[in-house]
Amino acid sequence: MKLITLLLLTLFYTFAESKAGQIYISVGKGTVKKSLLALPNFKYFGSTKASKANLRVGTELYQTIKNDFDVSTLFTLISPDAFLEDSSKKGLKPYPNDPVGFKFSNWSAISAEFLIKGGYKVVGNNLTLEAYLYYVPQAKLILGRSYTASQSKVRTLGHKFANDAVEALTGTSGMYNSKIAVTANRNGKYKEIYTMDWDGHNIQRLTSHKNLSISPTWSPDGKKVAYTSWAYHPKAKTRNADLFIKDVSSTAQAKLISYRKGINSGANFHPNGRDLFLTLSKSGNADIYRKNLSSGKTTRITRGPRGSMNVEPAISPNGKMLAFSSTRGGPPMVYVMTLSTGSIKRITYAGKYNATPTWSPDSKKIAFAGYDKGHFDIFIMDSKGYGLTRLTSAKKANGRTADNESPTFSPDGRFVMFTSNRTGTNQLYIVDTKGNNERRITYDKFHYEKPSWSKVLE
């Protein structure tokens, strides 16, 4: 989904000596050595004195960006107590080009490697951010941009700048304008599908079936969500696990995609956006099918064997491989099929139950939930089944081991989101792919299930 509400996005200032594509931070080394980042409070530069409401907008904008950089694992934010100059009295550009500009020497003296200077103004319903990212050791401007959006999109605007800054530093965009689709019982009675920003803000209810809606998954363009809901069938006077697709930007009702008697679940979009992999039980046992959304043609992908179940299809981002859970070898384990040949390889053997496989954006790794010794944890391995690594381990308040389930990769491949019941309710958490930098995302009394992380939404 494009950032439609942005009214203006212009690159207005870049030093000539900045080399296109220059990498300042190696993402692979970012978790080993974090760069020191100075992020002073943003200045208000409106034509009139900032009102309390305008100051609140500025604070939310600043805190959004600060949290994005903090969670990135690339930076250590320098405490404002260490700053040698009062940024409220200095400009956004360096002295002497700006007579009231800042001095790089004041930032190099506290060992800052990077410096972000920002200012904002509010005119009517519009918010404008002017922001600069500097590389202090070379007194170089890396990025300078101005963004304008409606005040209601203050967090989206902040995430956009954080994305651009991370891309300028690493060569890869950040994850900050991405969305999460998830099942939740936020209305206290029914489980519906909700969307939210990656950081848990801007929660919106997507469905209103007033029953059980589960297992959301994003289309490749981030415009639609497929999910399963126990819809009522008047003629049969019963409910069935039907598959729907909902346009997230439309108020129109969700489109019914598959309603065969039995299971219509586990949907996962092919990267082409035209095909959907799903689990059907029309033959008696649960098997995986491929459905073309234009023609409606359904092709069977798995066949048992011997009455085994094949569920939870996950197509690789390169469209070449299909990971899924199957009982063909006994207890549920993760298998990978090469779609061009139909060959299938089992890739998990440890534990009693392995499920919900999900691919990294580069199609090289698979995360899944593994059950052993009475609880689930999140694991990661390469697509051939090697390099198994445990990402999670947590205790409840009563000392018992918590369940950590339903992994989904961030669009930059650096984090995995999952649910955990360690606090008594299923909440959302993220952890990096090394099993470090774990962070809680939601803080409430509700239950969240099966999160799905979208691609970055520009």
Q: What is the pLDDT of residue 32?
A: 62
Q: Give yes or no: residues 162 and 185 share one domain.
A: no
What pLDDT score was predicted for residue 49? 82
1 domain-assigned: no
Q: Would you say residue 356 lies in a domain? A: yes
**Could you tell me the residue range of the domain that residue 422 belongs to?**
179-453
Supply the CATH number for residue 110's domain: 3.40.50.10070
Same domain, yes or no: 390 and 411: yes
Residues 286 and 263 both lie in one domain:
yes
Residues 61, 162: one domain?
yes
**pLDDT of res. 362:** 97
Residues 157 and 264 both lie in one domain = no
The 3-state secondary structure of the chain, one letter per residue: CCCCCCCEEEECCCCCCCCCCCCCCCHHHCCCCCEEEECCCCEECCCCCCCHHHHHHHHHHHHHHHHHHHHCCCEEECCHHHCCCCHHHCCCCECCCCCCCECHHHHHCCCCCEEEEEEEEEECCEEEEEEEEEEHHHCEEEEEEEEEEEHHHHHHHHHHHHHHHHHHHHCCCCCCCCEEEEEECCCCCCEEEEEEECCCCCCEECCCCCCEEEEEEECCCCCEEEEEEEEEECCCCEEEEEEEEEECCCCCCCEEEECCCCEEEEEEECCCCCEEEEEECCCCCCEEEEEECCCCCEEECCCCCCCCCEEEEEECCCCCEEEEEECCCCCCEEEEEECCCCEEEECCCCCCEEEEEEECCCCCEEEEEEEECCEEEEEEEECCCCCCEECCCCECCCCCECCEEEEEECCCCCEEEEEECCCCCCEEEEEECCCCCCEECCCCCCCEEEEEECCCCC
Do 194 and 79 share a structural domain? no
What pLDDT score does 413 carry? 96
Residue 36 is assigned to a structural domain of this protein? yes
Instruction: Say what the pLDDT of residue 289 is.
Output: 97
Per-residue model confidence (pLDDT) at position 13: 37
153 and 199 in a single domain? The answer is no
pTM above 0.85, yes or no: yes
Number of domains into which the chain is organized? 2
Within a domain: residue 128? yes
Confirm whether 2 is domain-assigned: no
**412 assigned to some structural domain:** yes
Same-domain check for residues 142 and 213: no
Q: Is residue 145 domain-shared with residue 244, that is, in the same domain? A: no
Note whether 89 and 187 are same-domain residues: no
Q: Report if residue 205 sits inside a domain.
A: yes
Do 189 and 164 have their domain in common? no
CATH code (residue 377)? 2.120.10.30
Predicted confidence at residue 6, as pLDDT, reads 39
**Boundary-marking domain end, from 140, 170, 200:** 170
User: Do 160 and 242 share a structural domain?
Assistant: no
For each successive 10 residues of the chain (458 residues), what is the average pLDDT? 37 37 73 87 87 94 98 96 96 96 98 98 95 98 97 96 96 94 94 98 96 97 97 88 96 95 96 97 92 97 94 98 97 98 96 96 98 95 97 96 98 97 98 97 97 87
The answer to whether residue 3 is domain-embedded is: no
